[in-house]
Chains A and B, each alone.
Chain A
Amino acid sequence: MRPLRGLAARLRPLLRRRREDAETEAELRFHLEMEAEKNRRAGLPPREAHRQAHVRLGGTEAIREAVRDARGARPIEDLIRDLGYAFRAARRSPVFTLAAVVSLAIPIGFNTTIFTVIDAVLFRPLPVARPAQLVDVWTGLPGDPYATTSYPDYLDLSAENDVFTDMAAHAPMAAVTRVDEATSLVFGETVTGNYFELLGLRPVRGRLLAPEDARPSAPRVAVISTGLWERAFGRDPEVVGRTLHVRALPYVIVGVAPPEFYGMPPIPGPDLWIPMTWIADLAPMGISTFVPSPGETPLERRGYRWMFVKGRLRDGVTLTQAAANLGVVMADLEAAYPQSNENQRPSLTLTNDVRLPPQVGGPVNVAAASLMLAVGIVLLVACANVVGMLLARSVARRREIAVRLAIGASRRRLVQQLATEGLLLASLGAAGGLAIAWSLLRVLATVESPIAIVSVALDFPLDGRAFLFTAAAATGAGLLAALVPALQATRPSLLRDLNGTVPVARGGGRRWFLRDALVAGQLAITVPLLVFAGLSVRGAVGSTSGAALGFDPDRVAAVGTDLFMIGYDAERADRFLRDALDRVRSMPGVEAAALTSRAPLDTSFSPRTVLVPGHHDPADRGATIVTVFVSPDYFRTLGVPLLRGRTFNTADTPASPRVAVVSEAMAVRYWPEGTALGHRFRLTGWDGTEIEVVGVASDYKVRFPTEAPTPYLHLAASQRPLSSAAVLARTSGDAATLAADMRRELRRTEPDLFFLKTETLRETADVTVLPFRLAATVAGASGIVAALLGVIGLYGVIAFLVVRRTGEMAIRSALGARAGALVWHVLATGGWLVAGGLGSGAVLALVVHRVAARVAAGVLAADAAVWAGVLLLLLAVCAAAFVAPALRIVRLDVSRALQVD
């Protein structure tokens, strides 16, 4: 009650503010009249009597402020009054207001958009109970520590550790799923029974999975996401108890996960969770490594490492303590199972802090940081611009400000008021920015995911964090933009300002130096942004050319399928694929066709361990090399030259000696002297027999367009049945058309066939550099906006320069100077600004380029044309800023101009 009454007491004077102000005014007027009257009676002339009364009383403005202070409720009262002033000021100059608001809205919108996306991917607290306690547990070899874990290792880690309250494991899967008659590919996870308990989630319908669901005798059950509940079941309130078929096997739905649960890193957006019990029917995908170990299923094999493991820290246990404890457990496992666990070490990361597997996370973090930096810079440029505008306007208001200072308004009050004006502009800018961000995010949500088989929604809603971010950015921008001019404007220099004359020559010194620097700075910032954009685009395009890739991506179609997914056994699958290859080969326009277990630049790859005599002891772990099974025409189809030896042929059968074609990088690494042909090596995880090198293929890009030459091992598909493969075909016509025709042809004999991939290799290559193209697009758009803002600022300076020099120009012109000379004079003055700005920008861009080239080697082209293009473009745009002011000089009416002062 008391605080309420206190508040009321503070608010009441606020409501009476106007009346009280008027009363103080009247009271002071009465005082002055009485004092003047007294002075007159003492014999002073009326004017002097009045003046002395004022002197005795002091500045009335200051007294009024002190009275308001004494009355209390001052800050709110001031704010309301300042807001009133600010609104009136904004209405008085609508063009200025609009320009400032738009200048702020665009970069704020950009910032909010990028922030929302980055926040969603990297920073927003995970939608689980007490996310800070969750830890990712990786096991791996010293060279590759952040790798997946086997189920037996998970069980032992979970049982033997002293640091976690519980541990759970999960692995991604993609499965053909049928609901009633509708079939689609659903992305999901197979999880341990305690997965949801560990995360501490609550269902929106039914229940989530429990440990009982993972018992071998338990019925087949599944939990679905809110998204799948909407898409496939139309939010049926009776969804619990309904059945969906995954790979033709029925699972009963027991519950729906909460809508905010978008999966756990590093696997976003699963729609389906099935207990690990059914692993044999699900065939999970993702990163996996394999060393031979006893057991029939993935759950029994200690050498099959395929799961992501998470633990929840006990209270008070640190990450370091947990890592030490798990290290001991893993050392015990290594002693007990030397074959499968040799050198396997645990690595721990906080799930909430490290959202992506560290090997992927690094580049993503760098990309995120540079995006944020780029849009942050644009916001700074916009601030600089609004600073420039406010500075220009505060010159016009100098007299008003000087008068208020003279009658006793404190400088603090004036600065406060000007800051309020800035904040009002920023608030309007923030509102506009949110609208822009909202529409940009809507556009993003409609963009089709580049990974065609799985629909990953790029749907990032604007949430409270985004609003908070926008408010912070806008407040910062508003204060920055308002305070600099406010401090400048209120710097007392009464005499000059009351006089109304501002020195003309040399533009009044310091004040203009600040604005010049702002404009030059704006121009400087645009150079690295545009150069970076240009180099990224050129680099991305360049790195996907046939010459850079080492194979010819144009006119090659790829259609991938997995026959296990539709219930084929290995032999039937292999027969189907070979038949499919024959049929594709005879399609019109096809010049060459081949089968491969993996198309170049695919995101998935299977590394295998190679033991080369003379390099690795038989007891060694060997080297990890990405391996692919291909049919004979593979190299011809891709256009990869064979440097030595032969490719596979029909003589290579399961019964004949194992043969391999190695990439040049592999040949150079292991058999540097002479030729690799005829040398033998072993492969762990196949059947252990020796493999002979029969051919050496030229290097080509395996995983990413910018990688260094990488050892790559080709084995004969004819020596081992394939169940999942892509058919590659080179056409004399259009590859996209061929890909569609191939799909139709393959479906003819198997209507249930499911395609993992249908695209041209050109598309594959382009998708791999998509992040760099996106970054380039954002940097380019930022650069263009920054350049526009910079040029507007430049125009402002030039125009102001011309107006302020009008008198001088007129005199010169009257004395016979030609207009051309005057234009030249203005050009020279502004030219210094442009030259300074672009020059320092070029230096800045060089530095940025150096740093970026180290981070993203190979993607940024070293391209002088881009540099020249950017600088020429900016010069041209800057020149435009001179045109209108220069024309004004040419048309100068001398006699009119001389009347200005």
Chain B
Amino acid sequence: MVAGRTDVLQGTLELLVLRTLAIEPMHGWGMAQRIEQMSGEVFAIQQGTLYPALQRLKRKGWVRSDWRVTENNRRARYYSLTEAGRGQLDRERAAWERTVNGVNGVLNWAGGTE
């Protein structure tokens, strides 16, 4: 539960957030729901880590935030992707796919040993 602890998904959390925000601007709770839903309930993200991650992305200039009113007439802080954020998402996505392909290549390798 301690925030800031580097867990395995630390790197991927930012990727997931960027990807989620690419769909539409969202508030923090909404993002948590969406990520769980989109990952087929595989990721039960540590909700507490979301907010520091958003703050980091904001400082890097990849997301911006503003206060809006939700459909239930509540004030919530919405986050949206900036242009730089879109570029970053593409770069991270490419990097992720390279990683996945590489790891898969290793896992699925069928060659013999010498």
Interface of A with B (CB < 8 Å)? Answer: 23-24, 26-28, 30-31, 33-35, 38, 56-59, 62-63, 65-67, 69-72, 408, 410
> Which residues of chain A are near B47, meaning CB under 8 Å?
31, 35, 56-58
Q: How far is the CB of B2 from chain A (nearest CB, A)?
A: 6
Least CB separation from B2: chain A residue: A62
Q: Top 10 closest A-B pairs, CB basis? A: A58-B48, A66-B3, A70-B55, A66-B52, A34-B29, A70-B52, A58-B1, A31-B29, A70-B56, A66-B4
> Which residues of B are at the interface with A, using a C-beta cutoff of 8 A?
1-4, 27-29, 32-33, 46-49, 51-53, 55-56, 59, 67, 74-77
If the complex has contacts A30-B74, A31-B29, are A59 and B1 also in contact, measured as CB distance less than 8 A?
yes
A62 to B52, CA, bound (A): 10
A23: nearest chain-B partner, CB-CB: B77
Report whether B1 and A62 are in contact in the complex, using a CB–CB cutoff of 8 Å. Answer: yes
Name which residue of chain B comes closest to A70, CB basis.
Answer: B55
Instruction: Determine the chain B residues whose CB is within 8 A of the CB of A66 once the complex forms.
Output: 3-4, 48-49, 51-52
Chain A contacts for B48, CB-based, 8 A: 57-59, 62-63, 66
Min CB gap B78→A, angstroms = 10
Residue in chain A with minimal CB distance to B55: A70
Quote the shortest CB–CB distance from A705 to chain B (angstroms).
70
Interchain CB contact under 8 A, A26 and B75 = yes
Decide if B27 touches A30 in the complex (CB within 8 Å).
yes
Distance of A23 Cα from B75 Cα, bound (Å):
11
10 A-B pairs with C-beta separation under 8 A: A23-B67, A35-B47, A56-B47, A57-B48, A58-B3, A63-B48, A66-B4, A67-B55, A70-B56, A71-B55
**A28 CA to B51 CA in the complex, in Å?**
9
Give chain B nearest CB distance to A40 CB in angstroms: 14
Within the complex, what minimum Cβ distance (angstroms) separates B5 from chain A? 9
- A58-B48, A59-B48, A70-B56 known; A27 and B28 CB under 8 Å? yes
* Given A31-B47, A35-B29, A66-B4: 11 more A-B contacts, CB < 8 Å: A27-B76, A27-B77, A30-B28, A30-B74, A30-B75, A58-B3, A62-B1, A69-B4, A70-B52, A71-B59, A408-B2
Nearest neighbor of A57 in chain B, beta-carbon distance:
B47
Task: Report Cα–Cα, A57/B49, bound state, in Å.
Answer: 9
Q: How far is the CA of A30 from the CA of B55 in the complex (A)?
A: 17
Chain B: which residue is nearest A55 at the CB level? Answer: B1
Report the Cα distance A33→B76, complex, angstroms.
Answer: 11
Q: Cβ of B59 and Cβ of A72 under 8 Å apart?
A: yes
Residue A27 contacts which of B1, B2, B51, B56 (CB distance < 8 angstroms)? B51
- Give A59 to B2 CA distance when docked, in angstroms: 8
Which among B1, B2, B52 has the highest number of chain A CB atoms within 10 Å? Answer: B52
Shortest CB–CB separation between residue B25 and chain A, in angstroms? Answer: 14
Q: A58 to B5, alpha carbons, bound, how many Å?
A: 13
Pair A69/B29 contact, Cβ less than 8 Å: no
Write out the residue numbers on chain A whose beta carbons fall within 8 Å of the beta carbon of B32: 31
Residues of B within 8 A of A24 (CB): 51
The answer on a CB contact under 8 Å between B28 and A63 is no
Of all chain B residues, the one with the shortest Cβ separation from A62 is: B3
Nearest Cβ on chain A to B73's Cβ, whole angstroms = 12
- Report the minimal beta-carbon distance from B69 to chain A, rounded to whole angstroms: 12
- Which A residues touch B33, using CB under 8 A? 38
**Which residues of chain B have C-beta atoms less than 8 A from A65's C-beta?**
3
* Structural contact, A31 and B4, CB atoms closer than 8 A: no
Given A58-B46, A62-B48, A67-B51, A30:B29 Cβ within 8 A: yes
Inter-chain contact B3/A31, CB cutoff 8 Å? no
Nearest CB of chain B from residue A594's CB, rounded to whole Å:
89
Contacts of A408 in B (CB 8 A): 1-2
B48–chain A nearest beta-carbon distance, Å: 3
User: Residue on B with the closest CB to A38?
Assistant: B33
User: How far is B52's CA from A28's CA once the two chains are assembled, in angstroms?
Assistant: 12
A residues less than 8 Å from B1 (CB atoms): 58-59, 62, 408
Among A23, A28, A58, A66, residue most surrounded by chain B Cβ atoms (within 10 Å) = A66
Are A63 and B46 closer than 8 Å at their CB atoms? no
A69 to B4: give the CA distance in the assembly, Å: 9
Q: State the CA gap A71–B4 with chains docked (Å).
A: 13
- Chain B residues contacting A27 (CB-CB under 8 Å) are 27-28, 51, 76-77
Cβ–Cβ < 8 Å partners of B55 in chain A: 67, 70-71
Q: Chain A: which residue is nearest B44 at the CB level?
A: A56
Tell me the bound Cα distance from A59 to B4 in angstroms.
12
**Docked CA distance A71–B53 (Å):** 10
Question: Which chain A residue lies CB-closest to B74?
Answer: A30
Chain B residues with Cβ below 8 Å from A67 are 51-52, 55
Q: Cβ of A35: which chain B residues have Cβ within 8 Å of it?
A: 29, 47
User: Once the chains are docked, how many angstroms separate the CA of A35 from the CA of B33?
Assistant: 9
Chain A residues with CB under 8 Å of B2's CB are 62, 408, 410
Q: Which residues of B contact A70 (CB under 8 A)?
A: 52-53, 55-56, 59
CB pair A69–B51 under 8 Å, yes or no, is: no
Report the Cα distance A183→B53, complex, angstroms.
83
- Residues of the A chain whose Cβ atoms lie less than 8 Å from the Cβ of B3: 58, 62-63, 65-66
Complex formed: what's the CA distance from A521 to B46 in Å? 51
The residue that A69 contacts in the complex, of B52, B74, B75, B76, with Cβ under 8 A, is B52
CB distance from A75 to the nearest CB of B (A): 15
Contact of B51 among A34, A56, A63, A410 (CB under 8 A): A63
Contacts of B59 in A (CB 8 A): 70-72
- When distances are taken between beta carbons in the complex, the residues of chain A under 8 Å from B77 are 23, 26-27, 30
User: Which residue on B lies nearest to A13, using beta carbons?
Assistant: B59
Nearest chain B residue, comparing its CB with the CB of A9: B59
Shortest Cβ distance from B80 into chain A, in angstroms?
Answer: 15
Whether the Cβ atoms of A63 and B52 lie closer than 8 Å is yes
B28: chain A residues at CB < 8 Å are: 27, 30-31
**Whole-angstrom CA separation of A163 from B58 in the bound complex:** 66
Q: Which of A27, A35, A62 has the most CB of B within 10 A?
A: A27
Name the A residues within 8 Å of B52 (CB-CB): 63, 66-67, 69-70
Nearest opposing residue in chain B for A60, CB measure: B48
Residues from chain A with a CB closer than 8 A to the CB of B46 are 58
Whole-angstrom distance between the alpha carbons of A443 and B74 in the complex?
A: 71
Q: Which residues of A contact B76 (CB under 8 A)?
A: 27, 30
List chain B residues, Cβ under 8 A from A58.
Answer: 1, 3, 46-48
Chain A residue numbers with a CB within 8 Å of B74 are 30, 33
> B residues within 8 A CB of A33?
74
